[in-house]
Structure 1
Amino acid sequence: MTADWTPVFVLPNIPLEAAIGCDIAALAPGHDRRVATLKRTHPMLRRFLNRFADNFGQKFEPAVLILNTAAPPIFSEVSALASFRDLIALSAVTHGRALELRHPRGHRVLFGEAFSIYPWMLDRRYEDVIGSTPAILGTHEVSSFKGQSSPALFRTSLGEGDIDQPLLTALMARWRQRYEAAEPAWEDVALMRSLNVAYHASLLPAGTDTTFYDVGRVVSLWVSAFEILVHPGGSGQANRDKVFEMIERTPWAIPASGQLAHDTGGKAKVKRTLASWLHQVLYECRNDFLHGNPVERSNLVLSTPQRTIFEYAAPLYRIALTAFLPLTHAAPMPSADDPKAFGAYIADRMDFMGPQKNAEEALLTATRPPAERGARRPRVTRPAP
């Protein structure tokens, strides 16, 4: 492919330390060389990107979703670009949620809104701005435009260490496979659909008016994301037991994660892993909230850690993706007689397995009592400078 790129969307809620993507598409910060070249070539783009500020007037440049002009036409379709955003968002949110369960401190990317696509963008001729959503379609002059980040969350910086890199690599490969195929495999279509639902499940339940009913609705979306992964296609069915089967195929990194010690209900009284039990809790919440059964705030709270089941959904989804993809370290182990090669192998395996262990450790917090009050993260009352 050539090195020519075109800007497609802007994402004002996520400050990036470096670009994320491949040779087809990338989510890039304003200082990325490709975006810098575009700004020099098209001064109106530079003016557009310079007209963003947060709710307190602090100026910033949004991240830009750029597309290689030599990419096959299908990658310029909204469905492909949205899937690209979804896989990046889930690689960040699942990892951030797992870290937050283990070491609560805030200032992590925990909600999908960080990757929201702005509804206004410069047109293809680099002249005016166009707004396009199911509710609006309009155009205006750049000189009158004032872009803003979301008032509902802080702009939290995202670096390489904040992303589940093995998951991102695997999802990026499946994204290309799905959209490059003349007739995509059912599993690839199902994966993109599941990521779409999981992305919307990762959004804020609501704004200032959030109630526990809103959280229950979001939990319901997470359950659907799991079930879409296991749907066999055609007239087949996806259900709780198939999700259990998928989860139980996970190659566990921590022995305690694979212990069959948890009752997931049903007549058979089968003991399953903690991950399956957590899915059972999500499943029961989904049924209660969506079927109109009597519910209370306590329906969402796990008794031992005194945390909501909502907090466990994202790292549990990472576990499900580990089994679905599957995510395994397939590199052959070199001989210990070659210390340099053996050491490199060990380091690479540790990097690969790190996010998996992070997700498993996060789920294991469901079996532990809450930390001492003094260990909780301080309340944030104003934006970080």
Structure 2
Amino acid sequence: MTADWTPVFVLPNIPLEAAIGCEIAALAPAHDRRVAALKREHPTLRRFLNRFADNFGQKFEPTVLILNTAAPPIFRDVTALASFRDLVAISAVTHGRALELRHSRGHRVLFGEAFAIYPWMLDRHYEDVIGSTPAILGTHELSRFKGQSSPALFRTSLGESDIDQPLLAALLARWRRRYEAAEPTWEDVALMRSLNMAYHASLLPAGTDTTFYDVGRVVSLWVSAFEILVHPGGSGQANRDKVFEMIERTTWAIPASAQLAHDTGSKTKLVKRTLASWLYQVLYQCRNDFLHGNPVDRSTLFLPTPQRTIFEYAAPLYRIALTAFLPLGHDTPMPSAKDPNPFGAYIVDHMDFMEPQKNAEEALLTATRPPAKRGMRRASAARPVASSTSSAARPASSD
């Protein structure tokens, strides 16, 4: 069993209820049978995993990124492994963000740091620990190693229902196609690049010193993730209208999402598009203001009706874009209603498949609703701009 899998990285910030992945690679908790077998065969791996604790000394075993030893060599490259991490993170963060917009409660996986890869790992001989980043390259004794989770976020458990399963399955298929191909298509390369940009857009804007400028910078990364998806390759260009076209190709699950009721035109031209396109327009304009040095203040980030930031809508909006790009649809033929068992199974499967899409659309629709009455919604410690725009964290004046 252990000869079939090898540990590559550890991720100390995300406790998993079960493994996530495919037959090539997986993020696996320490109690996964494959990791457990590796710990029995390599006692130093067991000791390494046992040397992690949070900032207050609470010990835990980190999640392990494991790779099938029979996988083609390309999958051992850090680019492929990072892409795998990116797609898992986006499948979780987009879903968590959508749920949080609908029912704010915190204690969800909302930031990409949950999937951060730890810079220290055992060497391939299971002897010493090696640290490798653009800033460090070194080795040290395992006996002196003390691993830690990030001090910037809580270790929030992730289960099957916390992940957008249809999106995850589709992205895993495209990941394999991109890295197994001798000459990958532009579309597949663009998807992996976009996911990488989206992952970095999902990270915390900054730490305790977060200001609204940091949030504006992160918004800019989200816009780039959208633009990479629609870039045609070669000397072609990606722009706002091409993103509009992609979003408008979405097969909507909720009728209200398809209504062309929102103005995305210019001062001289009225153009009505869907709410999703209008939200992208806000995101796009916010990016331009922050990156081009235009006058900005805290209000630049806020949507007037829900009194939420556009930052909070970026992840579920990106899920909508992926729905159109992939495209992501339930393609199983519907069986005859005369045969109740297959028909019933089809209905259940269809509902499960469409639930994350409906969840993302419902999240975007909150942009048209006024904020909940005071006391009706619990404050969430995971919403970044609540802290990043507090009087202690933001500049006293606007540009």
Q: Same fold (TM over 0.5)?
A: yes
Aligned residues: 381
Are 1:365 and 2:366 counterparts? yes
> Any residues of structure 2 matched to 1:222-237 within 5 Å, and which?
222-237=222-237
- Structure 2 counterpart of 1:65: 65
Cα deviation digits, residues 326-380 of structure 1 (max 9, x gap):
0000000000000111100000000000000000000000000001121222466
Distance 1:163 1:3, change over 3 A: farther
Q: For 2:316 and 2:376, how far apart are their aligned partners in 1? A: 22
Q: For 1:380 and 1:206, how far apart are their aligned partners in 2? A: 15
Any conservation in 2 of the 1:2–1:68 contact (CA below 8 Å)? Answer: no
Give the SS at the match of 1:265: coil
Are 1:95 and 2:102 counterparts? no
- Structure 2 counterpart of 1:277: 278
Q: For 2:169 and 2:220, how far apart are their aligned partners in 1? A: 28
Letter in 2 for 1:120: W
Any conservation in 1 of the 2:40–2:46 contact (CA below 8 Å)? Answer: yes
Letter in 2 for 1:133: T
- Structure 2 counterpart of 1:316: 317
Q: For 1:299 and 1:177, how far apart are their aligned partners in 2? A: 40
TM-score by length of 2: 0.94
Are 1:150 and 2:150 counterparts? yes
Any conservation in 2 of the 1:92–1:163 contact (CA below 8 Å)? Answer: yes
- Structure 1 counterpart of 2:218: 218
- Structure 1 counterpart of 2:18: 18
- Structure 2 counterpart of 1:242: 242
- Structure 2 counterpart of 1:134: 134
Unaligned residue ranges in structure 2 (runs of 5+): 383-399
Letter in 2 for 1:185: T
Any conservation in 2 of the 1:152–1:207 contact (CA below 8 Å)? Answer: yes
Q: For 1:87 and 1:260, how far apart are their aligned partners in 2? A: 31
Letter in 1 for 2:321: A
How big is the shift at 1:2?
A: 9.6
Any conservation in 1 of the 2:19–2:27 contact (CA below 8 Å)? Answer: yes
Letter in 2 for 1:156: T
Q: For 2:33 and 2:269, how far apart are their aligned partners in 1? A: 59
Any conservation in 1 of the 2:205–2:218 contact (CA below 8 Å)? Answer: yes
How big is the shift at 1:191?
A: 0.1
Give the SS at the match of 2:9: strand
RMSD, aligned α-carbons: 1.2
- Structure 1 counterpart of 2:113: 113
- Structure 2 counterpart of 1:77: 77
Cα deviation digits, residues 224-252 of structure 1 (max 9, x gap):
00000000000000000000000000000
Q: Percent identity?
A: 87
Cα deviation digits, residues 96-125 of structure 1 (max 9, x gap):
000000000000000000000000000000
Distance 1:257 1:3, change over 3 A: farther
Distance 1:363 1:3, change over 3 A: farther
- Structure 2 counterpart of 1:292: 293
Unaligned residue ranges in structure 1 (runs of 5+): none
Letter in 2 for 1:78: V
Q: For 2:328 and 2:37, how far apart are their aligned partners in 1? A: 36
TM-score by length of 1: 0.98
Q: For 1:119 and 1:380, how far apart are their aligned partners in 2? A: 27
- Structure 1 counterpart of 2:387: none
Letter in 1 for 2:192: M
